Copies of this chain bind each other. A is one copy, B any other.
Amino acid sequence: MERHLFEADHDAFRETARAFCDKEIVPHHESWEEAGIVPRELWTAAGDAGLLGFMIPQEYGGGGARDFRFNTVVIEEITKARASGPGFSIHADLVSGYLLDYATEEQKQRWLPKFCSGETITAIAMTEPGAGSDLQGIQTTAIRDGDHYVLNGQKTFISNGILADLVIVVAKTDPAAGYQGISLLVVERGMDGFERGRNLDKIGLKAQDTSELFFDDVRVPAANLLGEEGKGFIYLMEKLPQERLTIAVVAAAACEGMLETTLRYVKERTAFGRPIGSFQNSRFVLAELATETQIARVFVDRCIEELNAGKLTVSDAAMAKWWTTELQKKVADRCLQLFGGYGFMTEYPIAKAYLDTRIQTIYGGTTEIMKEIIGRTMGI
């Protein structure tokens, strides 16, 4: 089934993104996996190519195209290139929205130009060692003291944690006020008392830096408050659907990619004198995965349209998130199996895809939390 989502501009942008992946990412990814991180130069190159700031108004150095289809193009090309290292998505698909919608004019001028150029790498830090699913349970505090907030606490599992120059930190400015006491503060590289932990060793996403962040009496200028004090939780609720859809976009593209790779393999690999794809079991497995991938594709594309139209509900995003990522897990598992012993060898792309896949049902809100959200919308 043909996709109806894109127009000529998106197709052109896709060419740019694909060329960038081919040239700047693919040849180096393996060495980045060993390093556990990508180089800063990759980010500035991406900035030059227009892949980081396309959604930012031109006045701040961006492309002026706030249309999630452009985000989709980049996500898809990166996913198809199996480039799980570069944390562009956190920056361009998540943080961008917070800065565009909640930053003041002054903040925009201060942050956005380098956001677009890739000189400033961003992150968003919600999760703490003791609170992930339960965001209201965070314990990081930011107590107002004159023109500053004094920030104390610890975050963990922060994507781009090592590279980030600018981190949106979720903290309690009024610890007694429950979710209404939560605010967003922008912490910048170099502020006193802001330290990073080690780069965590993960099952997959080997070239992506994920780390702990420590805040010890960090004096964050009040001018770095994002939006209004006490509205942080509401902002998160507003932005989480887009984050979840982003993950679903990755999932759909990953399924397509794995399926393609596997289809090629089962046509070539033989056993018992026949291509292994010709065994009825293989055919049925692949037919099943192809069906569900196609269905995911149609649904995700539809969700992108809804998002662009400002109509993607919290529940729809949750549906897209859990279903496509659980599908991705299934596709990864079934495809790996079709590779036999080779599937277990990390030099095979399907093995890496399998490893990268496992986080998808966890971050951005677990499958369980998604079902809670949907259930609540249904009134139960």
Contact = CB atoms under 8 A, between A and B. Distances in A.
A1 B362 contact: no
A125 interface: no
Given A340-B133, A375-B283, A277 B354 contact: no
A363 interface: yes
For the complex, would chain A's binding face be called helix, strand, loop or mixed by DSSP majority? Answer: helix
A195 B154 CA distance: 52
A178 interface: no
Given A362-B337, A380-B266, A201 B271 contact: no
Size class of the A contact interface (CB-based, 8 Å): 35 or more
Contacts of A363: 341
Interface in A153-208: 156-157, 200-204
Given A1-B302, A345-B200, A359-B344, A380 B282 contact: yes
Contacts of A272: 133-134, 137
Contacts of A201: 345-347
Contacts of A283: 371-372, 375-376, 378, 380
Nearest to A263: B378
A281 B282 contact: no
A244 to B, nearest CB: 13
A291 interface: yes
Contact of A362 (B202, B270, B299, B341): B341
A322 B294 CA distance: 13
Interface in A328-380: 329, 333, 336-337, 340-341, 343-347, 351, 354-355, 358-359, 361-363, 366-368, 370-372, 374-376, 378-380
A354 B275 contact: no
A87 to B, nearest CB: 15
Given A281-B368, A282-B380, A287 B340 contact: no
B355 A340 contact: no
B351 A203 contact: yes
A341 B157 contact: yes
A68 B89 CA distance: 41
Contact of A379 (B267, B336, B347): B267
Contacts of A263: 378-380
A366 to B, nearest CB: 6
B329 A333 contact: yes
A279 interface: yes
Contact of A302 (B298, B346, B376): B298
A176 to B, nearest CB: 16
7 contacts: A156-B341, A279-B280, A281-B368, A287-B370, A291-B323, A291-B374, A341-B362
